Amino acid sequence: MLSHFSSSRVWTITLFELARLFASKRGLIVLAAFSCLWFLIFTYIIGSAAEFITSESFKALAQQAFGKLNLLALLEWELPELSVYWIISAYLLPTFAILFSCDQTCSDRERGTLRFILLRTSRPELLYGRFLGQVLILAILIFITLIASLLFSLLNEQTVSFGSLSLSFSILLKLIIISLPFIAGMTLINVFVKSAKMSLIVYFLIYIGSAIIINLMTRFVMDLSFLFYLFPGEQIESVVGFESNYVNNYIIPLTQTVVYLALAQFIFKRSSL
């Protein structure tokens, strides 16, 4: 079967995913909403928060507060805008990842369009092509907002050094890795739901429902908190301090991604269209 896996077909599907967002009316509306939201974030949160962080009165308080949250390293950053951007993005982008990737295969399957596509490509190729397309879309959006954040720093009459550029690349990479299991989770849910709305409902039901059950079990029966690692985003709190912890930074999200995708492929290969 592996010999029938074509990376060029996967890439063709990935590129068509970009067109699905950037060249369709619906995609452009989503992008406009995304841009407006980030405009507000830059104007009212990043700008004022960055100013606040650099003030002397905040620094003493921040030493204590950020220390408890393991965020001290962020105070050392040359550009405070980047610190604020990183914290906001680390928590906000998973939501965007879920919203952008909620319709990977479900509506096409329901409409029958997948039947046309699967006359020309294998199911794994389609699944991975669509997944990579969503990753690429999110990577582009992160890149754009990161550039905007650097431009914002320039507008605030700060200089952007090579160190800040290197840090920006590191932020881009980390944000993509944080988002991967969220997108892969949607890939998995998409193989058995019928619509984008339903995929969001199922996602949140699983997420919130499991959290409640695990918490209750942990409190009254036995410690099952390790089960939280089955769900994406468990490590974000540890990652946001920008420490060099490979398990939290890479191994947990990448393992979750691989497991979700393998499950999605297993189910999708056996499902009826």
Partner 1 sequence: MSLLIKVEGLNKRYGNKHALKNVNFEINKGDPVALVGPNGAGKTTLFSILCGYIPYDSGNVSILGESPSIAAVNQTFSALPQDAQLDPKYSIESQLKFYAQLQGFSTKQSVIEAHKVLDMVGLEDNYKVKPLELSHGMRKRAAIAQSLIGSPQLVILDEATAGLDPKHAKDIREIISNLSNEITFVLSSHDLSELERLCDQVLYLENGELKEHQTLTSKDDFNYLTLRMKQHSDSFVKEVSMLPSVQNVSQLQGKEYLISYTQLDNTEPFDITFLKYCHKQNWIYSQLVNGKTLENQLF
Using CB under 8 A as the binding rule, the residues of this chain from 81 to 110 that contact partner 1 are: 108
Using CB under 8 A as the binding rule, the residues of this chain from 16 to 55 that contact partner 1 are: 16, 19-20, 24-26
CB 69 within 8 A of CB 114: no
- Closest alpha carbon to 260 in 139, 179, 170: 179
Residue placing its CB nearer to partner 1 in the complex, 117 or 193: 117
Non-local CB neighbours of 253 within 8 Å, separated by 6+ positions: 177, 178, 180, 181, 232, 235
The interface region with partner 1, picked from 6-14, 142-150, 193-201, 209-217 by CB under 8 A, is 6-14
- At 191, list the tokens: 């193989």
Residue placing its CB nearer to partner 1 in the complex, 213 or 273: 273
Residue placing its CB nearer to partner 1 in the complex, 19 or 213: 19
Residue placing its CB nearer to partner 1 in the complex, 109 or 174: 109
Residue placing its CB nearer to partner 1 in the complex, 24 or 215: 24
Number of residues binding to partner 1, judged by CB under 8 A: 29
The interface region with partner 1, picked from 8-16, 138-146, 210-218, 233-241 by CB under 8 A, is 8-16
- Tell me which of 112, 159, 220, 244 binds partner 1, using CB under 8 A: 112
Q: Tell me phi and psi for residue 161, to 5 degrees.
A: -85, 175
- The verdict on 245 binding partner 1 (CB under 8 A) reads no
- Tell me which of 36, 37, 44, 111 binds partner 1, using CB under 8 A: 111
- The verdict on 118 binding partner 1 (CB under 8 A) reads yes
The span from the CA of 155 to the CA of 151, in Å, is 6
Task: Return the exposure string of 21-37: e unless at least 16 CB atoms fall within 10 Å of the residue's CB, then b.
Answer: beeeeebeebbeebeee
The span from the CA of 100 to the CA of 27, in Å, is 9
